Amino acid sequence: MKKFFFTLLLILSYLVAQAQWGKTPVEARWINYDNEYFYEYEMEQTAEGNTWFYMGGSYNANYVQLFDSIGVALLGDTDLMLLSDYKQQQSVPINQTLYVDRDGNAIVVVSDMRYNTDGTDTPAFTAYKISQTGEQLWGAEGVALNKDAHTYINGFLGFTQLSDGSYVFTWLHSDETEVIWNIDIQRVSSDGKLQWNVEDTRVGDPTGKTMYFWPYVVDAGNAQCILVYTKGSNYDLYARKLDFDGTPVWSEDTRIYKGGFPMIPLWTILDVEPSGDGGVIITWYDDRFFTDIESIYMTYVKSNGELGFSAGEEGQRLSYSGLRALSTSCKYDPASDTFIALWREASSGQGSYRIVAQSVSKDGELLWGENGLEIEPLEECEYAGLSLVEGHDGEMVAFYMKSNTYEYGNIDVRMQRIDTKNGKLVWNESKVLTNTLSPTHKTDLVATSMKYNNSGVFGWDDRGITSDPDYKRLYLQRVNYDGSVGNPDNTSVEGVKVADKSFYATSSVVYNEAVFVVNLPEASVATLSVYDINGAVVATPFSGELAAGKQYVEWCANVPAGVYIATLTTPQGIQNIKVIVK
């Protein structure tokens, strides 16, 4: 039995007139219009199927928006709703800007100079909490995380929500010398009150002789969290568990990896994720034997601070092909109670690439054999932008870009579903999600989770469309769980037969959501209700006035699997259709 989520989406006529997701790859949604340059963007999906979007643009601007599943912007009048535009530093490296909490609210953090009063280059972090109705739950100016901390650089931000509803934020801290590096940590209550003194919770060396760097934080349950960080110039990996008051839980920090990393951005090497049981998993790649052949490694830190794999501080090696292993991503899979890793491999000259996945048990056993599961075979092309996201129960979804020529060009975005229980691919060939918008310069792939719904959103930037190679156009598009793109209709979902085109479901089989199409000859009042086989009303997705023409009503319901009847009542009569909830 699947859990469903019920929501009433606005399907009034003015929403229908607004922009929506297109129905083909060439109808993708162009977001940064009017020459609005962007330097980063993030997306996260809510359980109801809405997608939160953040974009850092030019002229210090920070934008947010909430799109429903058919692409209607729910906040403001345009795709870009300005959140803040205070003066910012020239360049601020940040791991994370957007987080969606358990209630579907967006937490957005920006770094700017709004609290600078002495004229120096000292930025501060400000956190906003925005509801799905657009309410600024922490006020229009947000909550200042460190305006009095005299931090001379802000960067490498990470944050998570704890089990009690509060949030923990962590970032890199430097004094005026920009040499002494420490890690600051702050907890904020659900109503926006600062809970900790960052000078008391700071992780660092008071003498300034040892550098603390690259903080990550995950929820550990019981209003506790685990901080993952590096220590020393060799970037040794450690983990520290913090209680609700900011004090360490373990007697000493756990050393994760006794080796180190080169002086390159660690966010390009590490992935840090919760383990599903109060611990944390970390994947990375390194060339510890100086063979010019990198390998993928994983470490599992239990809730009590012990290392779960027998490999200990060596980390469990995942790749054995003899190829260079790069760009790793990992997730906990609740269906198999294992850890899933995804990475790409390259020949020594990086002329050929392939993509591999592996399932790892909690004691470190490689469940898909030493060779793993091949997502894409080795060929003379390049893969980039790998992203592993949660799919339906028992599945993970891999998104990536493929350059279809030997030299980087003719690029498309691809999707493949992984059956995690059986270690197999769902499709014989990956699904191609883009085509000819710009076949040469696609980068910056971002994809949302597909855990709760039959669709998600992915985005990329195109640099080959305009004559200016430095100008990027940001495109977003809906992707459906069957690998099709754009809003579904009666022809885009396999197996749908529509006898009456004035009221139908885009799919007669429902997994996590149903999308009903209502096409009225004239404006009228309408009620759409869903009944179980006993005749009881289980949901009323819409009741009100609808304009003439085609409109969409979405239903995400918390109902058992079974057969249901959707009924549309208008002054013209009553229409019924059957849907099967899996």
pLDDT digits (tens, 9 = 90+) for 205-218: 888 788 898 899 99
Of 268, 289, 313, the domain-final residue: 268
Pair 222, 94 in one domain? yes
Pair 9, 139 in one domain? no
CB atoms within 10 A of CB 45: 25
pLDDT in the model for residue 55: 93
Residue 17 pLDDT > 50: no
Residue whose token pair is 């903080």: 215
Closest to 410 in 3D by CA, of 444, 429, 382: 382
Pair 258, 168 in one domain? yes
207, part of any domain: yes
221, part of any domain: yes
d(CA 257, CA 237): 5
pLDDT in the model for residue 493: 33
Instruction: Give the CATH number, domain containing residue 13.
Output: 2.60.40.1930
Pair 147, 14 in one domain? no
Task: Please state, for a pLDDT cut of 90, what percent of the chain lies above it.
Answer: 51
Closest to 32 in 3D by CA, of 40, 20, 24: 40
Pair 1, 144 in one domain? no
Pair 10, 136 in one domain? no
d(CA 66, CA 50): 7
- Residue-wise pLDDT for 499-530, tens only, equals 345 787 766 666 667 778 888 888 889 999 99
pLDDT in the model for residue 506: 65
Pair 212, 103 in one domain? yes
Residue whose token pair is 């499709």: 427
Q: Both tokens of residue 301?
A: 């830190």
Pair 155, 252 in one domain? yes
| DSSP string for 216-240 | EEEEEETTEEEEEEEETTTTEEEEE
Of 268, 289, 311, the domain-final residue: 268
Of 213, 235, 268, the domain-final residue: 268
pLDDT in the model for residue 490: 40
Angle at CA 242, nearest 5°, toward 236 and 248? 80
Residue 260 pLDDT > 90: no
pLDDT in the model for residue 508: 62
pLDDT in the model for residue 16: 35
Confidence of residue 532 (pLDDT cuts 50, 70, 90): confident
Number of domains in the chain: 2
442, part of any domain: no
- Residue-wise pLDDT for 167-187, tens only, equals 999 998 876 665 678 899 999
Instruction: Please say whether the beta carbons of 413 and 445 come within 8 A.
Output: yes
Give 2 or 443, the one with higher predicted confidence: 443
- Residue-wise pLDDT for 302-340, tens only, equals 999 999 999 999 999 999 999 999 999 999 999 999 999
Pair 104, 247 in one domain? yes
SS3 (DSSP) at 415: strand
DSSP label at residue 430: P
Confidence of residue 360 (pLDDT cuts 50, 70, 90): very high
Q: Which domain holds residue 223?
A: 86-268
- Residue-wise pLDDT for 443-470, tens only, equals 889 999 999 888 999 999 876 555 555 5
369, part of any domain: no
Instruction: Tell me how far apart the terminal alpha carbons of the chain are, to the nearest angstrom.
Output: 8
pLDDT in the model for residue 551: 79
Pair 12, 112 in one domain? no
User: Is the whole-model pTM more than 0.95?
Assistant: no
314 CB burial (10 A radius; 0-12, 13-18, 19+): middle
Pair 137, 234 in one domain? yes
pLDDT in the model for residue 304: 97
SS3 (DSSP) at 198: helix
| DSSP string for 23-82 | SSGGGPEE-STTT--EEEEEEEE-TTS-EEEEEEESTT-EEEEEE-TT--B-SSSSS-EE
pLDDT in the model for residue 494: 32
Pair 99, 213 in one domain? yes
